[in-house]
Amino acid sequence: MPRTLTRILAVLITLFSAGSLTTTAAADPLYPSPDPDPFFAAPADLGSKAPGDVVRTRRIDSGPYVGTEGWQVAFRSTNSGGKPIMAVTTVLVPVGVKNPPLVSYQALINSLGSKCNPSRSLFNGELQDAMGAMLPIGRGWAISLPDYLGPNVAYGAAKLSGMVTLDGVRAVRRATEIGLSSSPVAIAGYSGGGMASAWAAALQPTYAPELPIAGVVAGGIPADLEQMALGLGFEPHPGFGLAFAAAMGLEREYPDRLPISDQLNPTGLWFREFTHDECRRFLLFHGAMRSADQLAASKSLMDSPAAREVLYENSLRRFSGTPTAPMYIWQGVYDTLTPFDSVKEVADRYCRAGAPLTFVPYEIAEHMTTAAAGFADAWNYLEARFRNEAPPVRC
């Protein structure tokens, strides 16, 4: 999540969640419209299933991704409050390859609508990194793209995304009809997808200790949401739409702790309704040059302990867990979107704990340029892990 956008997000959270501020009418979180396809509906007995258990599977037309067979798997996962949720992942398997390695790729979502999740956006043109995500297919690997923001499309909920990612891998391996139960597994992603991937790596030793992970590659990681929220301001900004969406996504995941919608004025409630089912490009276009000042019921800015706790809970820098799977992290030193020092601190802690980490800094400032610079080596790193080569350590 970009630094400037998260500053705006922090304004939204701290402004809208302080209970003593002047309110409009009480407003519950506004969730995405349910997908009309019954495949996405959770069964009544979901709570009786274990994390990663398969709810249902189906074959799908893989559409433009020629040379692949497509599947979707619905499975049981866990939200940030420890409650069962259902999630979905989309799997593309290269035709004619027996027992291919499996890569869980956490794509860029940055959205609020269910149509923006990979299960839909792979085929409707909304997924920004769809073709890049297909590079593993060219290496003969299968790829799984989970809807890692969960059924409520809780944009900004990093811990949630890590748990859904791990349960998605469990589910694909348990779906025997796909034939990947004994495939070596890797996890990959960049930016928001890198955050989900890095959280999956950190959570795996305690949340999914039985899951064998050959390697994890993650870049452009937003590692400390509180740090990124420093320097608050109310000025209009071209990226305001994404910041507002992240605030709404976090409210969806933490409705009792972040009642942000209660603090929206009529214009804010209208904008919430206008954007609650939309994807990244729509959010950017219609949010450009708006501000929290325009949408809030009060101009007061108050410290909110509840909001800060939520930011802490979703900041990798503050999570004590250490990955045990081989891991490759790359980050732009001068990245103006995701701060380098917080990622470096996480990497240093992992190294001190003996984690098998390769940390690669790039002397680059532009966020997506760093993605392009690092992904080739990241894929090569995973290929070596699939060959059972010993992971290098570079701290």
- What is the predicted pLDDT for the residue at 298? 64
Q: Does residue 2 have a pLDDT over 60?
A: no
Tokens of 137: 């297919």
Domains of the chain: 3-31+233-312 (no CATH), 57-224+315-386 (3.40.50.1820)
Q: Does the pLDDT of residue 62 top 50, yes or no?
A: yes
More confident residue, 240 or 47: 47
Please tell me the predicted confidence (pLDDT) of residue 228: 65
Residues in contact with 110: Cβ distance below 8 Å, sequence separation at least 6, in sequence order: 155, 192, 242, 245, 279, 280, 283
Residues 273 and 107: beta-carbon distance below 8 Å: no
Quote the pLDDT of residue 25: 52
Look up residue 62 and give its two tokens.
């893989």
> What would the mean pLDDT of 29-40 be, rounded to a whole number?
95
CA 367 to CA 13: how far, in whole Å? 25
Q: Considering the chain, what percentage of its residues have pLDDT values greater than 70?
A: 90
pLDDT of 292: 80
Determine the average pLDDT of the residues in 18-38.
72
Q: What is the mean pLDDT of the chain?
A: 89
Quick one: which of 197, 238, 191 has its CA closest to 368?
191
Q: Is residue 130 pLDDT above 90, yes or no?
A: no
pLDDT at 61 exceeding the cut of 60: yes
Mean pLDDT calculated for residue range 331-349: 93
pLDDT digits (tens, 9 = 90+) for 150-201: 999 999 999 999 999 999 999 999 999 999 999 999 999 999 999 999 999 9
Q: Which residues contact 135 (CB under 8 A, 6 or more apart)?
A: 375, 379
Please write the tens of the pLDDT for every residue from 287-314: 888 888 888 876 543 457 888 889 899 9
pTM (2 decimals)? 0.92
CB 191 within 8 A of CB 329: no
Per residue in 236-253, pLDDT (tens digit) is 777 788 888 988 999 999
